[in-house]
Amino acid sequence: MKRSILLAASGLILAIQIPVVAQMSKPAGNSADNAMTRVFGTNLNFSATMEMRVKLSPSNNDISQSGKIYFAGGNSRTELDLTKMTSSHMPPHTAEQMKAVGMDQLVTITRNDTRKVYMIYPGLESYAQLTPDDAHATNNSQIETTELGKEVLDGHPCVKYKYQIQDGVKPGEALTMTAWRATDLKNYPVKIELVSTGPQGTTTTTLHFLNINTQPPVANLFNPPAGYRVYNDLKSMIQTEMMKKMSHPSLNDMPPGQPAAAMPAGHP
């Protein structure tokens, strides 16, 4: 059973490393973040269903994940059910194992106003409070923007833009982003494709937004839950909480599907 738990943790770490989660879960600071800020702005308010797909080459790993995203005044919240993640390299039964140990739900809150990121696991009643290291970042990124034309996507008339990020990129690496911005939704991006190329290969991350609601989300969604255990390091949190689970005398009899802790009040 302990080996199964470790497999579940490996699946969790894989999900955390999905590039889109990294991009949507930290305050703007580096060049890619500034490109995202240029697309989303800091005053846009919305909520949507978010479908993510990450293709890794040359490993040929194809990762898919759906979730919810909320955005208000530069702050964001993403909610992921990691049992719904699919990957061509994921071990069998990983989803069931993650659910059994309470690590199936992941909520990420980014507070751009306080420059804090909260990685929240309701099933563990714990979260990691992180401060991104952007000491060397610049808000003056050189980003070349090109209009590629007009398309209709999901019934929305869109203007398609390409963003070529010039600085903050290491030699031998390239970073480009394409966004389909809907003119009937205040230029909200209904689709984003981020392509990163380097010595290790190419990562293509695609975000597709559906069921878009332009009403401002409730403010409480961007606050971490009260009463949870707080850590300052994600790795330490996972290790500590996993050790608690592995030392539980009834772990081997634990049925899959334990209920997760309740979301904060005001959650839709």
Q: What span, in angstroms and rounded, lies between the C-alpha atoms of 268 and 124?
A: 21
Looking at residue 166, its pLDDT comes to 67
In this structure, the number of other CB atoms found within 10 A of the CB of residue 212 comes to 17
Q: Name the superfamily (CATH) of residues 2-132+141-252.
A: Lipoprotein localisation LolA/LolB/LppX (2.50.20.10)
Percent of the chain's residues with pLDDT above 70: 71
Q: Which of 137, 133, 206 is nearest to 165 (CA)?
A: 137
65 versus 34: which is more confidently predicted? Answer: 65
> What pLDDT does 31 receive?
55
Cis amide bond preceding 249, omega within 30: no
Predicted pLDDT of residue 27: 40
Q: Comparing 37-41, 58-62, 155-159, 179-183, which segment has the lowest mean pLDDT?
A: 37-41
Mean pLDDT is lowest, of 7-16, 40-49, 137-146, 158-167, for 7-16
- Predicted pLDDT of residue 146: 93
Average pLDDT over residues 238-243: 80
Average pLDDT over residues 153-178: 84
pLDDT of residue 248: 59
**Entry pTM:** 0.74
Residue the block writes with tokens 């634990």 = 254
Res 224 pLDDT > 70: yes
Q: Lowest-confidence range among 3-7, 56-60, 165-169, 246-250?
A: 3-7
Element spanning 125, H or E:
none
Between 27 and 227, the more confident residue is 227
In the chain, pLDDT over 90 holds for what percent of residues?
A: 27
